[in-house]
Amino acid sequence: MQATIIEAINDALHEEMATDDRTLVFGQDVAESGGVFRATEGLQETFGGDRVLDTPLSEIAIVGAAIGLATYGYRPVAEIQFSGFLPPAFDQLVTNASRIRWRTRGELTAPMTVRTPYGAGVRALEHHSESLEAVYSHIPGLKVAVPSTPHDAKGMLISAIRDPDPVLFMEPKHVYRSFREEVPDGTYTEPLGEAAVRREGEDVTVIAWGAMMHKTREAVDNLDGIDVELIDLRSISPLDRETVVRSVKKTGRCVVVHEAPKSGGFAGELIATINDEALMFLEAPVERVTGFDVPVPLLAMEDFYIPQPPRIEEAITETVNY
Amino acid sequence: MNEDPRPAPARPISADAETVSQDDVDVDTYRILEPDGSYDAERLPDLDDETFRELYRWMVLQRVFDNRATKLQRRGKLGTYASGRGQEASIIGSAFALSDQDRIFPYGREAGTLLIHGLSMRDLLLYWRGLEDASRMDGANSFGVAISIGSHVPVVTGTAWGMKLDDADSVAFANLGDGATSTGAFHEGINFAGVLDAPAVFFTQNNQYAISLPFEEQTAADTVAQKALGYGIDGIRVDGNDVLAVYNAVLTARENAMDGTPTLVEAVTYRRAAHTTSDDPSRYRERSEVEEWEKQDPLERYREFLQSEGLFEAIDEEAVREEIDEMFDDAVAAADEFAERDVREIFEHLHEEMPPELRRQLSEYEELLDERPDMYEHIEQRPKG
Ligand SMILES: Cc1ncc(C[n+]2csc(CCOP(=O)(O)OP(=O)(O)O)c2C)c(N)n1
Ligand SMILES: [Mg+2]
């Protein structure tokens, strides 16, 4: 079928609910109204109120309860309405979800998924626009996935739900509905922890993920005469070091693009990885195009904050001409 | 010793007699104006005639502002907007009970409270247009809007604590919804206020919904007000469509709070509009339910009171609405004329002094914007207010 990212996510949830009756979906406004972005539309009608629930306005309890259910043998898929409201539940992710397997030496595990839309560009109110993937990537034991296409959104969400450990599934809401592509019917998985090479090239490696993949692709398409190898990281944690390093060894140049602020952003980890494993192959310093070290502005100025294609083009050109 | 010394679970020798449950608590709803137009004259607040009328005018203002802001959003001239339609008595009644020195912690649905507390209508519109500058809340003695639901509650406690240390003649005033009462921040913040005897008022507009979730599913508690008992503070449940009752309740809560008893007020009302302009309530509630609440219109109820007291004759409703419309037009015009945005704004005010790296990011960006004017093809920025 042809599907947008949001439709692909909805489809993945339907598939997994049907496949495993210990899969539960809950969160704010997910059941009766089908989610503020309609990601969970139709689930309650199909699978009933015991498996698809609206919760109180309690992020801590949503994530905490998912951990309780998961360690008890269920497969919870919790929705946090906007990733800007996940911070209260940070404690549950750090204190319990990410380390219960480690703490109990494998006696208890937390096969749970927390889905949450992230990122700027939808003209929302404060706290609706951040990209905190690097923050969550710093928690050992927590997987962090960020799809950028409908095909991956479905395949990776199914992987996340089936994963034996907790996965934070960050959805690029800016491109939830911006395009359709062919998405296979039925179940299939796209692996977590593997980047995808979207375009092979010789001159420079460009790495992005989530909504930034689309800005980056636009930039790459505008650049005549530069042969870009474009990597969609897809998984922030675990990180597919191999694909990144192999590519940078080939091209000798690299640009990383992310929406989050620069300082402490995930580009830092990628650059460190490249330094560790491909330093001698570099012909130019690795560039990064990122959000600024400020909160995402309110809607009037948010487009200024988001890395736009011309900024990305400049960085790629500079790196190639270094 | 036995491996498991416990007996098989048996029928308990009942401790029921000692169990406390919410059935033991009687939470009355305080009211002055009955829906049938009658009222309890003993309870009327001690206000002069003009103030009685002002209350009405401000409720009309809230209504008109919500209507016009919603329309402005539809025309693409405002961001997402959250209307207070149906909650005018709660919004205006509570605001009238406050003083300028009280610091208010709004949550978004209370235009009238912010305006009464000193914010200009232009700045309120600019806030909903997503301009950082408006969040100064110039002149309104306000912490700014708690978009992260419940996040302000512990902050209210801290501010009240400071007021107590200063022996200040004021309270910290939180506005929140029924949904916020389920957050951890709500519980921790109010419990701490109780321990501190802090002069805080936690004003909850129970409008029966948190987006699509009805109050009955938000909590197993019958009321919000009873939650006060768990924290050892006082609670008041009031008819939130009765502006005089809300006024008295918040006045009482404020007085209590300044005497060392933080107070949780629950105003029982109804959100008649969509959650925000991006919400479609037909997905989760019946139109007939809204119609039932329309019959409880707070403006009509109060108008009837004014009429029976002979106070309404001095109000020319049409003129009042016209005046508010003009204020609104002027505010839109002033917002439209607000100075052109500058990219520096998003870098400023994060630190008292901009750190070198941030300065570098800004100047690099300014250069880029000069060199690549095509950046503006990607920036659907509102150049003015
Ligand atoms: C911590 C947090 N979680 C979720 C949201 C998304 N959200 C915005 S308003 C809202 C419901 C608020 O309900 P309530 O507190 O009753 O206030 P009302 O909107 O009814 O006035 C939700 C879930 C949020 N803003 N903050
Ligand atoms: Mg509510």
CATH of the domain at A285: 3.40.50.920
Whether A14 is catalytic: no
Based on the domain organization, do A177 and A212 belong to the same domain?
A: no
**Domain annotation covers residue A189:** no
Q: How many CA atoms lie within 13 A of B264 on its CB side?
A: 28
Q: What is the nearest CA distance from A228 to chain B, expressed in angstroms? A: 21
A contacts of B125 (beta carbons < 8 Å): none
Judge if the beta carbon of residue B85 lies within 6 A of ligand 1: no
What is the atom index within ligand 1 of the atom nearest the CA of B209?
20
Based on the domain organization, do A26 and A145 belong to the same domain?
A: yes
Based on the domain organization, do A134 and A22 belong to the same domain?
A: yes
pLDDT confidence bin for B37, thresholds 50/70/90? confident
- The answer, yes or no, to whether residue B255 has pLDDT greater than 70, is yes
With the most atoms of ligand 1 within 8 angstroms of its CB, the residue from A28, A62, A116 to mutate is A28
Based on the domain organization, do A12 and A159 belong to the same domain?
A: yes
Mark which of A148, A182, A216 sits at the end of a domain.
Answer: A182
pLDDT at B385: 56
**Which of A244, A223, A231 shows the shortest CA–CA distance to A314?**
A223
pLDDT at A183: 98
**Inter-residue contact A84 to B148 (CB < 8 Å):** yes
pLDDT digits (tens, 9 = 90+) for A13-38: 999 999 999 999 999 999 999 999 99
Return mean pLDDT, chain B. 96
Q: What is the nearest CA distance from A73 to chain B, expressed in angstroms? A: 24
B79 and A33 within 8 Å at the Cβ level: the answer is no
Based on the domain organization, do A216 and A159 belong to the same domain?
A: no
With the most atoms of ligand 1 within 8 angstroms of its CB, the residue from A36, A54, A55, A57 to mutate is A57
The closest CB to that of B130, out of A298, A309, A310, belongs to: A298
Based on the domain organization, do A127 and A64 belong to the same domain?
A: yes
Mark which of A154, A182, A210 sits at the end of a domain.
Answer: A182
Q: A280 and chain B: CB distance < 8 Å anywhere?
A: no
**Domain annotation covers residue A85:** yes
* Strands of the sheet with A113-118, listed across from one edge: A52-54, A23-27, A75-79, A113-118, A167-172, A143-145, A235-237
Output the residue whose Cα is nearest ligand 1's atom 8: B149
**Domain annotation covers residue A187:** no
Judge if the beta carbon of residue B262 lies within 6 A of ligand 1: no
**Residues B151-161: what's their mean pLDDT?**
98
Based on the domain organization, do A205 and A174 belong to the same domain?
A: no
Based on the domain organization, do A210 and A142 belong to the same domain?
A: no
User: Annotated catalytic residue: which of B275, B301, B302, B303?
Assistant: B275
pLDDT at A111: 98
Question: Cα B357 vs. chain centroid, distance in angstroms?
Answer: 38
B contacts of A84 (beta carbons < 8 Å): 148
Based on the domain organization, do A166 and A220 belong to the same domain?
A: no
CA–CA gap between residue B48 and residue B55 (Å, rounded): 11
CA–CA gap between residue A122 and residue A120 (Å, rounded): 6
B129 and A262 within 8 Å at the Cβ level: the answer is no
Based on the domain organization, do A170 and A89 belong to the same domain?
A: yes
pLDDT at A121: 94
A54 and B135 within 8 Å at the Cβ level: the answer is no
CA–CA gap between residue B69 and residue B79 (Å, rounded): 10
pLDDT confidence bin for B184, thresholds 50/70/90? very high
- The answer, yes or no, to whether residue B279 has pLDDT greater than 80, is yes
pLDDT digits (tens, 9 = 90+) for B201-214: 999 999 999 999 99
With the most atoms of ligand 1 within 8 angstroms of its CB, the residue from B211, B224, B269, B279 to mutate is B211
**Domain annotation covers residue A89:** yes
DSSP letter (8 states) at residue B40: -
Mark which of A116, A150, A182 sits at the end of a domain.
Answer: A182
**Residues B275-279: what's their mean pLDDT?**
96
- The answer, yes or no, to whether residue B81 has pLDDT greater than 80, is yes
pTM attached to this predicted model: 0.97
pLDDT at B16: 72
pLDDT at B381: 65
CA–CA gap between residue B268 and residue A84 (Å, rounded): 29
**Domain annotation covers residue A281:** yes
**Which of A299, A293, A311, A306 shows the shortest CA–CA distance to B147?**
A299
Domain containing residue A68: CATH number: 3.40.50.970
Ligand 2 centroid – CA B218 distance (Å): 9
Residues of chain A with pLDDT under 50: none
**Domain annotation covers residue A191:** no
What tokens does B119 get? 């914010």
The closest CB to that of A300, out of B129, B184, B185, belongs to: B129
Judge if the beta carbon of residue B154 lies within 6 A of ligand 1: no
pLDDT at B252: 98
pLDDT confidence bin for B14, thresholds 50/70/90? confident
In terms of Cβ atoms closer than 10 Å to its own Cβ (0-12, 13-18, 19+), residue A249 is middle
What tokens does A141 get? 């034991």
pLDDT confidence bin for B1, thresholds 50/70/90? confident
Ligand 1 centroid – CA A18 distance (Å): 31
A contacts of B108 (beta carbons < 8 Å): 125
Q: What is the three-class DSSP state of A30?
A: coil
**Inter-residue contact A175 to A216 (CB < 8 Å):** no
User: Annotated catalytic residue: which of B68, B152, B271, B301?
Assistant: B271
Comparing B382 with B268, which gets the higher pLDDT? B268
pLDDT at B384: 57
Name the helix (H) or strand (E) containing A206. Answer: strand A204-208
Judge if the beta carbon of residue B266 lies within 6 A of ligand 1: no
Ligand 1 centroid – CA B382 distance (Å): 27
The closest CB to that of A56, out of B182, B362, B365, belongs to: B182
Comparing B17 with B262, which gets the higher pLDDT? B262
A292 and B361 within 8 Å at the Cβ level: the answer is yes
User: Annotated catalytic residue: which of A14, A127, A128, A214?
Assistant: A128
Based on the domain organization, do A63 and A117 belong to the same domain?
A: yes
Q: What is the nearest CA distance from A61 to chain B, expressed in angstroms? A: 9
Number of domains chain A contains: 2
The residue segments making up the domain with residue A158 are 2-182
- The answer, yes or no, to whether residue B339 has pLDDT greater than 90, is no
pLDDT at A289: 98
pLDDT confidence bin for B51, thresholds 50/70/90? very high
**Domain annotation covers residue A27:** yes
pLDDT at A159: 98
pLDDT at B259: 97
Judge if the beta carbon of residue B177 lies within 6 A of ligand 1: yes
Judge if the beta carbon of residue B103 lies within 6 A of ligand 1: no
pLDDT at B340: 82
Phi-psi region of A174 (alpha: psi -120 to 50; beta: other; left: phi over 0): alpha
**Domain annotation covers residue A269:** yes
Based on the domain organization, do A178 and A202 belong to the same domain?
A: no
